[in-house]
Structures are given as structure tokens and as C-alpha cells.
Amino acid sequence: MSENAPPVITTQPVRPQQPTPQKKGRGWMWFSFFLLFIMLCGGGVFLMFAGMVGIAAGDLDTNSSRTEQTVRDYDSNNKIALIDLNGMIASFAVDASGHNLVQSLKRQFGWANDDDEVAAILFRINSPGGEVLASDEIADIVRESEKPVISVMGAVAASGGYYVAAPSDWIVAHELTITGSIGVIMSGYSVRNLMDKAGVQPIVFKSGKNKDMLSMNKREEDISDEERQIVHDMIGETFGRFKKVVREGRDPENRDGKDGQILTEDWESFADGRILSGNTALEQGFVDELGDLDEGIARALEIAGISDANVFRYRQPMNFSMMFPFLGKSEPQEIKIDWGVELPKLKAGRLYFLSPTLLY
């Protein structure tokens, strides 16, 4: 190669430089979880906050805390409120908001009485009875209602179930309804024999001789005559109140349904705790008419003096506390002893308006 020849230059293809990948943050992931939480809750957090504000303000009984479900639609401007009482009458909490049976019925009767469009109240009862105090409070609610109350008995409306119906303006029962059972019961159990067999000896310290009356630790022969008399007097006093509620409730002067049945002269002979069919109850004047909900509606229209009405019942809308009732609740620790027998779920030492044939 000569000195004047041009130099030979070789070239290689240059690959474009790839940008250095950057690490992605996790913010998008947490944001997605947040959106999913909002979607699942469906506004539940807001409802919970609103509920807390309502509780703090004592505003649980406002119109926003209920809805109305139509049962019979007759395209009328009038309304009849259908209020149900189902199961045993008791004072324990029955819903996630903490309202017991008495409070729930009191709110519903209050709503119906405050609604100018409601002409009458249908009180549908299917209950074997229950606690004396709770039954008496419900009877007061019925008695104090400003609107006519027509009680419609279902399969069972006995003892306390009849007690709460007695102050109604009209009582409808099916001919096969189990009702009556007018009386008071207080029961207890003695496990002393089982304790003796297991070698368990109770040690009792008491301030007075009757402080341990009705104790499960006592033998039947250890119950004194004085203790028996005390319990007997208490039951007699409560039984007298039961008969007074029936007598006054069935008095035509205390009812809007003045043309209904009246008690027979010997009605108290049927107030010995026996259960009655709807037919027998009608014959003795404990109920006014045989039928079902349809007869109850027709009678409500007649007593209210209207030709038609839509029948509805109240519903409490779903809220966050009902969806998650376990939030903020802790269950107390309990110690349970298995005695080898299953006892009915009644509180020992309490008075009950309860049909004994329906305890088990």
C-alpha cells in the first residue's frame, strides 16, 4: 500500500442504549385496595358514622329510621299498620341496634299513632307468652294507642300472648288458635341430689334466712313453709293483675269495638291456666270473632269508619351495624357445668305469663 492511499475505516453498527428500568411504586396497589373497600362497603362507613351521630343526638325514632312495606295494596289514601309479635315475650335484645321486643313494638306503635294516614293498627300475635314485666309493658302500649287496635291471633296466643291482646279494641282468633292459659308460673330446679352424688358440698353465707330461697342448691324438703308462702303470695298478686287486665280490657266501655263479645259470668273458672281453642274462647267472651288476617282487616275498616285502606308493615333498613354486628362487641367468658340434663331456657326465679305446655 502506498503512503498516499486513504486509510481504510471500518464501522460497526451501534445499538441504541436501553433506558434503565425504574422500580414501580406500590401506591397503585393500595389505592386499588381502597377503591375495592369502598365498593364492598357500599357507603357503610358513612351509615355507621351517621348512626353514631344519631345515637349521640338521641334521634333513633325519626322517620329516616324506618321504611314501609306494602302487604295489601288497594290504591287507597288510607293506611292500616300491621305490627307483628312473634315468639316468646322477653326483655333481651333482639336486633343488632340493641332494641328489645318492648322497645321495638313501642316505636312501631308510636310511628302508627303519629301518622295521620293510619286509620287503625292490626296487632298480629303468635306467641306462647313470656316475661311478666315485658308482657305488662306491651299491654300498656296497646291500651294507650290513639288508633284502634285489632289483635289477630295466629297459631298460639296464650298466657302472655293473650295478656297483650286483652286491651285491644277487637280480638280475632282462628277456631284452632291455642289461647287462654291465663295464669302465672315460677319454676326452679334443684340439683342438690346430683351435687351429693358428685361429692360437691355447697357453702352458703347469707344475710337473712330467706336470702337463698329458690336456690338450686336446696333440697325440696329444705324449703320452709314461709318461703313457700312468700312465693305463693307473689304469684297470687301477679295473677290478680292478669285477671284485672282481662276484665278491664274486655269491658265494652273501654273498647272502640263496643259490639263485640263480653265475658261470661263464670269466665274466671276458665282462668285456671287451661288452654282454650278459638271456639271456646269465643263462647266465653275472651275473643270477639273467629277468622284470620282478612277478617281482621275487614273489622279494622269497620271500626275506623273507612271503606278501604292499604295494609303495610314497618321495616328497619339495613345499616352498617346490622351487617357487622360483631364490631365493638366482646362476649363475656362463661363457665358452664353439664349436669346431664337439658333444661328449658327460662330464667330461674322469674315470673312468667307462659303456657307450660309450650315450654319444651
Residues noted as catalytic:
159, 211
Distance of alpha carbon 291 from alpha carbon 218, whole angstroms: 49
**Distances from the Cα of 214 to the Cα of 119, 167, 211, angstroms:** 48, 33, 9
Q: Using CA of residue 219, residue 224, residue 230, residue 232, what is the dihedral sign?
A: positive
The 3-state DSSP composition of the chain as helix, strand, coil percent (nearest 5) reads: 35, 15, 45
Burial grade of 327 (CB within 10 A; 0-12, 13-18, 19 or more): exposed
Return all residues near 35 (Cβ < 8 A) that are at least 6 apart. Answer: none
First to last CA, the chain: 121
Closest-CA residue to 267 (of 244, 237, 291, 241): 244
**Distance from CA of residue 227 to its chain's centroid?**
34
For residue 238, give the C-alpha cell: 301477679
Distance from C-alpha of 268 to C-alpha of 101, rounded to nearest angstrom: 29
Alpha helices in the chain, H assignment, sequence order = 27-41, 44-57, 101-114, 132-143, 160-163, 192-198, 225-249, 278-283, 293-304, 320-323
State the DSSP code for 65.
Answer: G
In the Cβ-directed half-sphere of 360, how many Cα atoms lie within 13 Å?
4
Fill in the DSSP letter of residue 118.
E
The C-alpha angle with vertex 357 and arms to 354 and 360, in degrees rounded to 5, equals 90
Beta-carbon contacts of 279 under 8 Å, excluding residues fewer than 6 positions away, are: 175, 290
The CA distances from residue 218 to 34, 67, 208, 337, 338, in Å, are: 61, 52, 15, 17, 18
